[in-house]
Amino acid sequence: MITVGIETSCDETSIGIVENSRILVNLVASQEKIHAKFGGIVPELASRAHLEKIVPLFNEGLKRCKILPYQIDAFGVTNTPGLKGSLLVGNAFAHGLAYALSKPIYNINHLYAHIAACFIEKKISFPCLGLVISGGQPNVFLLKDYTKFVQLGKTRDDACGEAFDKVGRMLNLPFPGGIHVEKIALRGCEDKIKFPVSYVKNSLDFSFSGIKTAVYYYILKHGLKEAPNIAAAFQKAVVDSIILKIEDALKLYQVEHFLFGGGVIRNNYLRKKIEKKLKEKNVEPVMARPDLCMDNGAKVAILTQYLIREKDCPDPYEIVVIPTK
Ligand code: KG4
């Protein structure tokens, strides 16, 4: 069974082609260079770049895995959450193709797809917990099976990746800042400066706006002389607050597996801290591969495979939507 996943929710145009659980191609056209000079994503420029890239990327994908359009069994397209104009480009393209080829199309929640990137790592025991930490979201989920997601927690204000990117900007690092903050933190000492560790009580929600403000005022007072120490202390405070929520989730739900996806999960410091904490709790972490943590079509195509397995025979151009809780 061949599924094509189409992803245009933010600043990456991507086509992933998956046969059963094997990724045949996962092409990503990143817009990092376009947005870098603005220090953040400019939605209108993002939509225009998707429009330019999506058709050549799809054709290139078919060429690389030597398949013809009629051999595709179904399409999956990210349809929420994301930048509206960007989503519109991917959805118009995907729905047009599915209609023309008389193939079913699955409207895929971007956050569920981040978790689905873990499904190819190993056989998952359900129920399990899932945590997405990306540029736009932190979200805790309970998964009843591969396609049944219940949201348990979200951010009360800013996203975690956004905090990394804004702090990167305060430290004069290139956009997107996450990876650069991690790099300079390696040269710093995490205990020289103390930033507050945010913790939302009696809830699995997160909050990341306070830490941004704390870093801002620290830099205003002390300047950038100690940039590696600031990066290390910021990273520690953010990761400590994530670990506290993981512990809270594990107090509420007994699980064998805890799944992790989203761009910030590429951070090695975070990955190591998660692994250590889960080892203590006797829970196995299942983390998306670093190349599947960022926005990409393969994870959309993987989730589409699982949806099809649930429903034997979708009708031609049937639009299937997973209810969002
Ligand atoms: O998952 P993603 O591509 O976007 C959304 O779905 O929102 O994640 C992008 C985010 C950016 O904020 C980026 O700075 C962050 O992931 N990121 C990192 C690292 N690599 C990417 N944050 C911290 N450390 C990293 N190594």
Which residue has its alpha carbon closest to ligand 1 atom 4?
A: 135
* Fold of the CATH domain 2-115+293-321: Nucleotidyltransferase; domain 5 (3.30.420)
Predicted TM-score (pTM) of the model is 0.94
What lies within 8 Å, CB to CB, of 86 at 6+ separation is: 8, 9, 10, 11, 43, 46, 47, 50
At residue 194's C-alpha, the angle toward residues 262 and 182, to 5°, is 35
The pLDDT tens digits of the residues spanning 253-286 come to: 999 999 999 999 999 999 999 999 999 999 999 9
| 3-class DSSP assignment, residue 16 | strand
- State the DSSP H helix or E strand holding residue 180, giving kind and residue range, or none if neither: helix 178-185
Domain ranges, ordered by start, for the chain: 2-115+293-321, 125-287
Task: Give me ligand 1 centre to Cα 39, in Å.
Answer: 14
Residue 310: pLDDT band (50, 70, 90) is confident
Residue 44: pLDDT band (50, 70, 90) is very high
pLDDT attached to residue 88: 98
Q: Is the pLDDT of residue 222 over 90?
A: yes
pLDDT attached to residue 21: 87
Q: Is the pLDDT of residue 312 over 60?
A: no
Q: Is the pLDDT of residue 190 over 70?
A: yes
Q: Which residue has the higher pLDDT, 309 or 130?
A: 130
The candidate with the shortest Cα–Cα distance to 260, out of 161, 152, 119, is 119
Q: Is the pLDDT of residue 319 over 80?
A: no
Mean pLDDT of 313-321: 56
The candidate with the shortest Cα–Cα distance to 20, out of 120, 145, 144, is 120
pLDDT attached to residue 313: 47
Q: How many residues does the chain have?
A: 325
Task: Give me ligand 1 centre to Cα 225, in Å.
Answer: 26
The reply to whether 125-287 shares the fold of 2-115+293-321 is yes
From residue 180, how far is each of 31, 168, 174, 186 by CA, in Å?
Answer: 17, 7, 7, 10
pLDDT attached to residue 325: 46
- State the DSSP H helix or E strand holding residue 228, giving kind and residue range, or none if neither: helix 227-252
Task: Give me ligand 1 centre to Cα 134, in Å.
Answer: 5
% of residues, the chain, pLDDT over 70: 95
The candidate with the shortest Cα–Cα distance to 160, out of 278, 23, 293, is 293
Mean pLDDT of 71-85: 95
Of the residues 26, 294, 296, which should be mutated to test ligand 1's pocket, given the most ligand atoms within 8 Å of the CB?
Answer: 294
Of the residues 179, 287, 300, which should be mutated to test ligand 1's pocket, given the most ligand atoms within 8 Å of the CB?
Answer: 179
- State the DSSP H helix or E strand holding residue 91, giving kind and residue range, or none if neither: helix 84-101
CATH architecture label of 125-287: 2-Layer Sandwich (3.30)
| 3-class DSSP assignment, residue 143 | strand
Mean pLDDT of 80-84: 95
Pocket of ligand 1 (CB under 6 A): 10, 134-136, 161, 164-165, 176-179, 182, 262-264, 266-267, 294-295
CA distance 60 to 118: 26
Mean pLDDT over each residue of the chain, to the nearest integer: 94
